[in-house]
Structure formats: structure tokens, C-alpha cells
A and B are shown apart, each in its own frame.
Chain A
């Protein structure tokens, strides 16, 4: 086989003249993180609201949350990406659509990508929040009511503080998913990490070095997030209530 390895390629300058290939990859990493974090804010806020709605004792309110989750979980992410990028500006009133289409280069694809990932992941966060609330003993909700708290107060002071602690591990993996899924945004022109590796491969012909570097960066990112979240879990654990000892459950 005739593949010429050249690991020093990362220190070569790109033909675009913007710096080394390593620099290209790191800029890609920054876009991955920026897209992921921005989308995560939408996902967390919207997902929590929807998740709560799905457990409210009003049929039609719960139905809104359920319909949202079914829609966003049953359409492929890539198709949703195209809907946000190509279709929505056409369906909006003309002035607004034109304004969106005329945004300057990175933003014209960054904004739809963030909205798409945010709304997509919100459905998955909603599912976790609902499961978390339903996993609580029903006595918690009753105790809140018995104390004379209103329904919003019961959620705010009794249920949610515990729920968010329980669902930290699944939320961590949803956050990792949003970072990985941000690579789908390359189809609408966001030059995130995978796109940067692809660009490096096209300019330098060093396919495997480029993809190896991207893979290692993704793994490192995963490890950092997992460790950070483990620390957070440890910090917010309620002593004697939720912890590794309970989670692993003996019998």
C-alpha cells in the first residue's frame, strides 16, 4: 500500500494563508463548542419547560409537550437542518426571510444550525425531565400540595431541585450528543471540527492524519465533559439521598 504518512503536516501552512493546519482544526473545535453551547442553552430551557408540561395534571397541556417530542424525534436531524436553513426563511414574511438570507457568512449558517440543534435536543431533554419527574415518589408532589404550595411552587421548590440532580447523568450524555451532532451542521456550511478536518484533507491530501487528529480531539472533548460533569454531580449531590451508593443499588 502506498499511503505516505506525514505527521508534521499539522505545522504546514494552509493554502488559504490563514495559518497552520493545526490552527484550522482548533478554529473548527471552537465552532463546535460554540454551536454546542449555544444550542444547549435553548435545549435546556425549552426542554425543561416541555418536560414539566408533559407531567402537569392537565391533559391538553401534556399533549402539547408530547406532540412536540414526537415531531422532533421522528424527523432526521439532517432533514431538520435543511428545514431551518432552506425552508423556514422562505415561509417567513418576505422582509424577515430576506434579512435572514442576507446575514454575513458564518452567521447565516451558524444561527439556523444552533436553532436546529437546540430545538432537536430540547425534545430529548424534555423526555429526560419527564422521566425524572415521574421517577419521583408521588408522595413528594402530594406533600407539596399538602403544605399549601401552588402547582408552580411545588415544581419550583419540591420536584425540580431533585429532578435535575437525578437526571444529571443522562443530561451529560445529551450534551455530548449535541457536541457530536453539531457535525451535521457542516452540511449547511458551518466549518466546525469535522468540516475543518475535511477541508484539511482536501487541501493537504493527508486524509488519515486529518481524521485521526479530529477523532482524538473529539475523544479529548468527551473526556473533559465527563470529568467536569462528574465533579458537578459530586458537588450537587444531596447527602444520603442521591449518590453512587443509591444509584448502583444493592438488592
Chain B
């Protein structure tokens, strides 16, 4: 069964897999966390807003993103972004957007919907009296949100945001459908070149597994450390 397992194949390609593939995956994950949480928080604030059009727009966006598969969203943005680019810059032709930028935009837009729901729960977990206290002190909406509500909401939601980030880290492997060389893409290119599918895909599975297990273990420890005792 494992008699023909070629460990050298993995060792020889390790530098390529890590330097090209894993770097892409990790950079994409890092950028999307930042972008997704910021955009997601704005969406959550819009969704909870008392201004009806804003709340309807945010709710429809979130529901739309959550009811279609990520693969379809990846295809959507891959074709849509060049047109949006042309619309923004006023060019006649669709703008050429690189694979990396395209995936950053896609995942940010998609994950924002998921982060938004987490942040909404976080904002709603802050006692109403806190908001009233803010207004009573004469703070405006942005000051109340920025200085009182959001810091507490973030603190409450950090474990869930990080868990969602681990899920997203796994989901980035789907850029494979655009033939992008992320970690899985790199492994699959090597696998097909050398005819070593078994070694490569098992190796990829083990690496993802170890990273995600370590990540969720760290999240659990963090959760115990930062939990607010009420």
C-alpha cells in the first residue's frame, strides 16, 4: 500500500511548495482577515442601523453571499472585477486584474458577510446601557461605536472571529478553480508533473491538518485567557 510511497518527492519539492504555495495562501489569508473584518464590521453596523435603506442593503448583501457557494462567488468576481475596474477608471476595455488581487477582492467580499454576522452578534452582546451612557456623555454615533461598543464587541468575539479565520484559511484552497498557485495549487502542479498524486495530496492534507489543529488549540487557550468574568 505505502510500499511505493516516495518521501524524496516531498522533500525535493518542499522549498517550492512552501516558498511559492504557502506564501500565497498565508498572504491571502492575512489580507482577507484584515479587509474582511473591517468591511464585515461596517456591514454589521449598517445592518443594525436605524436608517432603513442602509440596513436593507446590508442585510440583502449578507444573505446573498451566504446563500451562494464560494466557488460560484469566485467565478463571479473573477469575471466581474475587470468590468468594475473599467467602470471605476473609465476605461473602454475591461481592466486586466492579476490573479492575486482578484482573489483578495473575492475573499474579502465573501468572508465579510460571515464576519459581519459574527460582529453583529458581538455588537448585540454589548449591553444597551453602554450605548445610552455614551450618548448621555455627549458622544456621537462614531465615538460611541469606536470607543465604547466595538472594543467590547471585538473582545467578546475574538475567539469566534479566529475560528472563522481558520475556516477561511481552508477555503482559500478553492482558488484552485482559477488555476492559481496557492499551497494546494502548487502541490497539484507538482503532482501532475511527476505523477505523484498520492504523496502530494496526502502531504497537503497533513500540513493543513497540523496548521488548523494548532490554530484551533491556540484559539481555545486564548479564549480561556481573555474571557471576561461577569
Contact = CB atoms under 8 A, between A and B. Distances in A.
B170 interface: yes
A215 B68 contact: yes
Contacts of B24: none
B154 to A, nearest CB: 25
Given A77-B170, A79-B173, A79-B208, A186 B71 contact: yes
A208 B68 contact: no
Interface string B200-214: 011011001100110
B201 A86 contact: yes
A40 to B, nearest CB: 16
Contact of A1 (B86, B201, B205): B86
A194 B75 contact: yes
Majority-rule SS of B interface residues: helix
A3 B83 contact: yes
B209 A75 contact: yes
A87 interface: yes
B50 interface: no
A83 B67 contact: no
B37 interface: no
Nearest to A184: B71
Contact of B67 (A78, A182, A197, A222): A222
B69 interface: yes
A79 B205 contact: yes
A247 B36 CA distance: 31
Interface residues of B, number: 39
A80 B68 contact: no
A70 interface: yes
A219 B205 CA distance: 32
Contacts of A90: 197-198
Contacts of B83: 1, 3
A5 B208 CA distance: 42
B67 A186 contact: no
B72 interface: yes
B39 interface: no
A3 B94 CA distance: 9
A76 interface: yes
A245 interface: no
A59 interface: no
A130 interface: no
A214 B79 CA distance: 15
B133 interface: no
A194 B71 contact: yes
A173 B103 CA distance: 26
Contacts of B184: 76, 78-79, 82
Interface in A175-227: 176, 180-184, 186-187, 194, 197-198, 201, 207-208, 211, 214-215, 218-219, 222
Given A194-B72, A211-B79, 13 more contacts: A1-B94, A75-B170, A76-B184, A79-B205, A80-B205, A83-B201, A86-B191, A90-B198, A91-B198, A183-B70, A186-B71, A197-B75, A218-B67
9 contacts: A1-B83, A74-B213, A79-B201, A87-B202, A180-B69, A183-B72, A194-B72, A211-B76, A219-B64
Interface of A: 1-3, 70-71, 73-80, 82-83, 86-87, 90-91, 176, 180-184, 186-187, 194, 197-198, 201, 207-208, 211, 214-215, 218-219, 222
